[in-house]
A and B are shown apart, each in its own frame.
Chain A
Amino acid sequence: MALRDSHVTMAHGGGGRAMRDLIDEVFTSVFQPPGMEDQARLMEAALQAPGARLAFTTDGYVVAPMEFPGGDIGKIAVCGTINDLAVGGARPLWLSAAFIIEEGTEIALLRRIVASMAREAEAAGVRIVTGDTKVVERGAADGVFITTSGIGVIPPGCDPGATRIRAGDAIIVNGTLGDHGAAIMAARGEFALETTLQTDSASLHRVMDAARAATPDLRAARDCTRGGLASALNEMAQDAGLGMLLQEAALPLRPEVRGLCEILGLDPLYLANEGRLVLFVPEAQAQAVLDALSGLPESAGAVLIGMATAEHPGQVRMQSALGGTRIVDMLVGDQLPRIC
């Protein structure tokens, strides 16, 4: 054990022995990348399925606190990029991981984050094949920022996208909404609320596989991360040039999430998720897809929440249990808790 420090110092970013020790002990010994020197050297065979296309994506992750009930920043950095690949129809293969680390960060915390990334990657069958670390002065970052990029392969004939959605298609989500956003708010401890809420963070490639197996015509899928279900659906409604009509009574919400939102004046439709996606499938196959999804833990709570419509193109609307209909619009910025 060459690494004796308990906290990251500027020396760990200086390019010398301290940096080498940090990278060897905390990162490469865990990820065990197949690459050499500063790049991953990968076998081309995995990319050569006939007719297949390559999917490539990147995403930055910042979250406070870095550890929260049910997960940490490492888990969402792996799941998030896997999900970006998966919802486009790709089978995720390789990830890169770049870390911006604030001076003073506990090395034990860094180890926990890395272990969590390795665990999630292994469970999903992807490799973290290359990476980078930079250390910045205290105050120049908040703890650890992670950027992961991902490469995956899209099998032949698979081409989900919002423009393929048709009026009458069923809209399905894979579980309760807003758990992650609510869990993070509760974990920040800014209001004295005790909850049992956990992040919904999960890799969703198996959910996509199950859905594709159940319907030959999976029209479109999107992960509902920042901005929640409402933002994802608004983007898709505009891309598709169709309306979307949700049934409020069908939306899956945990009582704790509903309660937190009532108290703070927030709308759970806009809360972030890290393991939720929205699927569009032909109505006739909706039940088959729901049955297939119910067999997986990460989509055991899958339900039908509405349908695509020819009316009100580009708009998401919701019918309340009382019969009134309202627009579910894009937000300008973050939701701000109200005064009273």
Chain B
Amino acid sequence: MKHVTEFRDPALAKALLAEIARLCDQIGATREKPVHIMEICGGHTHAIFRFGLDKLVHEGIEFIHGPGCPVCVLPMSRVDECIEIAEREGVIFTTFGDAMRVPGTRGSLMQAKARGADIRMVYSPLDALEIARRNPEREVVFFGLGFETTTPSTAFAIQAAAREGLKNFSVFCNHITVPEPIRALLGDPHMTLDGFIGPGHVSMVIGTHPYDFIAQEFGKPIVVAGFEPIDLLQSVAMVLRQVAEGRAEVENQYARVVPEHGNPASLAAIADVYERRPSFEWRGLGEIDASGLRIRPDYAGFDAEAKFGVGYGAAGPRHVPEPEGCACGAVMTGRIKPTACPQYGTGCTPETPLGALMVSSEGACAAYWQYGGARGAAA
């Protein structure tokens, strides 16, 4: 864990902050006319607030918090379906901890657990597989959730279950992909984004080329970044340098971890197990073409949608409207800051979240609240 210290070096941070300020001045970025940089990934949003980077950088930088928090973009209907499955007789429903508190129309998984459903928190789909091996008389369902970072491990679990001939293991697949919503955002004529910071962990799997369209079709710079403060500051400087020089390229700040072409073994597992859905619903963003994955017919025995007849496997998608006054969609697309949502801090707090952005530690609203983005300014 030596690297953690190295990438939080104050002297290096200071030099990068000076470089960012110099580039801002060169571009003419000011508080009134800032450069808009979207950090796509919720992990980056969390890190920016945790280390106070938003207040340390030149005032000509405005971070727009992107849709890269898998828990935040999960539509309420899918949470309802999780609970529907979990409450079936004989089911053990397994999930990552993050997803436990997300509210659906009938409450969260944590509340369903308290009502008696057998819902267990796991750290990996392989843990869920182990529970299935040990409980052959129960049906064990894993809540497959997340971007390309977690998609391969779910695929590995399904492949292992198939090899072993397990009959009591299935996945409720909600895996989604990063490039498609970015394309959707860039196609929105109201969006004013000057550049992107790309999620490093996703690119560990998919490489950097899936983002080529951002530079080539839309003429925007993107820098794939790591998660330490120095990584983020360096990435901001790299985006600014592209803007200053009039370039639009895909650059890799996180080369110590991210190979240009991704991870072949993970990509092969993804291709083997999943196929693209025609479209998938994102909370706050609506249906986005080809943005979700489902389990291929070859592995139908491990597909909880087919097994339980829910979700896209049943009568088609079931849309549940957002709670009244919830502006998660506008926050997620960067149209408003969390503090501009009328519910922020009143109708919606971490204790009683209305929208998912207040639940996950990677959600923009929760990050604002936890690290004082709003209250600090008010105090």
| A interface with B by C-beta (< 8 Å) | 190-191, 255-256, 258-259, 262, 264-265, 312, 315, 317, 320-327, 329, 332-333, 336-340
Contact = CB atoms under 8 A, between A and B. Distances in A.
Given A315-B379, A326-B50, A337 B97 contact: yes
A219 B50 CA distance: 30
A321 B5 CA distance: 10
B350 A337 contact: no
Given A190-B127, A337-B96, A324 B376 contact: no
Contacts of A324: 51-53, 55-56
Interface stretch (B145-153, B256-264, B283-291, B316-324): B145-153
B10 interface: yes
A224 B229 CA distance: 28
B372 A327 contact: yes
Contact of A339 (B4, B146, B370): B146
A338 B56 contact: no
Given A327-B370, A336-B97, A339-B98, A322 B229 contact: yes
A317 B375 CA distance: 12
Interface of B: 1, 4, 8, 10, 13, 43, 46, 49-53, 55-56, 70-71, 96-101, 121-124, 127, 145-147, 149-150, 201, 229, 350-351, 360-362, 369-372, 375-376, 379
Given A324-B56, A339-B145, A258 B51 contact: no
Contacts of B362: 338
B139 to A, nearest CB: 21
Nearest to B110: A333
A304 B104 CA distance: 45
Contact of A322 (B56, B121, B371): B56
Given A315-B379, A321-B10, A324-B53, A338 B4 contact: no
Contacts of B229: 320, 322
B351 A332 contact: yes
A323 B12 CA distance: 12
Contacts of A264: 123
A340 B379 contact: no
A229 to B, nearest CB: 16
Contacts of B99: 339
Contact of A332 (B1, B43, B51, B350): B350
A327 B50 contact: no
A323 B56 contact: yes
Contacts of A336: 97-98, 100-101, 121, 361
A323 B54 CA distance: 12
B52 A255 contact: no
Contact of B52 (A262, A325, A339): A325
A336 B147 CA distance: 18
Instruction: Please list the 6 inter-chain residue pairs (A to B) with the smallest Cβ-Cβ separation, ordered nearest first.
Output: A324-B52, A327-B372, A336-B97, A259-B1, A340-B149, A326-B371
Contacts of A338: 43, 96-98, 360-362
A132 B366 CA distance: 45
A73 B196 CA distance: 50
A259 B375 CA distance: 30
Contacts of B371: 326-327, 329
